[in-house]
A = this chain, B = another copy of it.
Amino acid sequence: MNLLNTEQAAAFLRGCSDVHILIHRSPDGDCIGSGYALYAVLRAMGIRARVCCDDPIPPMYRFLTEDAAFEDFEPQTVIAVDVADLQLLGGLREQYEGRIDLCIDHHISNTGYAKSNYWNPEASAACEVLYALFKAMQLTLTEQIAMCLYTGMATDTGCFKFSNAGAETFAAVADLKRSFDLPYASLNRLLFDVKSKGRMALDARLMQSVRMSADDRVALLYLPYAWMEELKVSSDETDGVSNLPLQIAGVEIGILVKEQSEGGYRVSMRAGDHADVSAICRQFGGGGHVKAGGCSIAEGQSDAVCNMLMAAAEATLQS
């Protein structure tokens, strides 16, 4: 991977023109925040820029994007932000592959597909990487840019709750809070607390049907597809459902089994302090990280599938 230091990355930004900024498909708070923050900074430097994404921006993030007005133009420079892998460009891959001049990212798994990289795998979020760069460049930020950067760091760290929220994350947010009197608490409520009425009903129904075993150390939720239709909950609204089982005191392995509209099941597993769920998921052709894994089960009666997964989880805790 061709790495740039901060000085080189700053020189790159100062020297670029007509920039297409690429963010990943299924855009989240961090890629939207970093993409639109970079857009605003380039515009303020007098550089034409736009953000390109294969999927629409989810409505909850529109407050980050509504100030932007994009022109159509041929790019002279292409910069990817928060994109670990070319696959994550979705339908934009074909157009940009081999033409990406700079990637700004924080993923340890970044495949190094860009010509140059400004990369800090210790950072919680691409927005934290960008903040460090903007600070080194002594740029004057705006409220809108601060809101973008805050949103990226907040969403990628679960509002500063996860282990990736490091000292530099907190120091960056301290800087932003000193300079910008944004409605942080309302923003956090919007980003982390508010659920649709349907999602709330779905969570309640799931929690009432939780199956537990192994002295309550394994908890499984089964989500029939019919519930999604009945409660009018879309698939992208179910982010975070897989974290529910682990919220029960004492649970070491939490499992979510989602029946798919086309048949079969998608399984997410989460581990508490001790278990390794990627090993369990690998037994079923899946994988992931120690604390968060997944797999797909092509067929079977739902009860049989749930029992099989719980048995595998119980066996892991006993070994």
Seen from chain A, the residues whose Cβ lies within 8 Å of a Cβ on chain B are 159-163, 165-171, 173-175, 177-178, 184-186, 188-189, 192-197, 200-201, 203-208, 210, 212, 216, 243, 246-250, 272-273
Residues from chain B with Cβ under 8 Å of A204 in the complex: 203-208
Partner of A207, one of B175, B184, B188, B201: B201
Within the complex, the shortest CB–CB distance from A79 to chain B, in Å, comes to 28
Interface pair B170/A185, CB less than 8 Å apart:
no
Closest 8 CB pairs of A and B: A170-B174, A163-B185, A167-B177, A204-B207, A171-B174, A167-B178, A204-B204, A160-B160
Residues from chain B with Cβ under 8 Å of A246 in the complex: 189, 193
Cα separation A54 to B246 with both chains bound (whole Å): 33
Residues from chain B with Cβ under 8 Å of A175 in the complex: 167
Interface pair B162/A159, CB less than 8 Å apart:
no
Given known contacts A171-B170, A177-B166, A210-B200, A186 and B249 CB-to-CB distance under 8 angstroms: no
Interface pair B177/A163, CB less than 8 Å apart:
no
Q: A193-B243, A195-B247 are in contact. List 7 more A-B contacts (CB 8 A).
A: A161-B189, A161-B192, A162-B185, A163-B185, A168-B174, A186-B273, A200-B207
Within the complex, the shortest CB–CB distance from A139 to chain B, in Å, comes to 19
Cα separation A200 to B246 with both chains bound (whole Å): 11
Residues from chain B with Cβ under 8 Å of A165 in the complex: 184-185
Cα separation A156 to B301 with both chains bound (whole Å): 47
Interface pair A196/B163, CB less than 8 Å apart:
no
**Residue of B whose beta carbon sits closest to that of A170:** B174
Partner of A205, one of B186, B193, B208, B247: B208
Cα separation A148 to B284 with both chains bound (whole Å): 43
Interface pair A248/B174, CB less than 8 Å apart:
no
Within the complex, the shortest CB–CB distance from A23 to chain B, in Å, comes to 25
Given known contacts A170-B170, A207-B201, A247 and B194 CB-to-CB distance under 8 angstroms: yes
Cα separation A186 to B210 with both chains bound (whole Å): 23
Residues from chain B with Cβ under 8 Å of A212 in the complex: 197
**Residue of B whose beta carbon sits closest to that of A207:** B204
**Residue of B whose beta carbon sits closest to that of A203:** B207
Interface pair B203/A249, CB less than 8 Å apart:
no
**Residue of B whose beta carbon sits closest to that of A196:** B249
Given known contacts A171-B171, A188-B161, A204-B207, A197 and B216 CB-to-CB distance under 8 angstroms: yes
Interface pair B161/A248, CB less than 8 Å apart:
no
**Residue of B whose beta carbon sits closest to that of A244:** B200
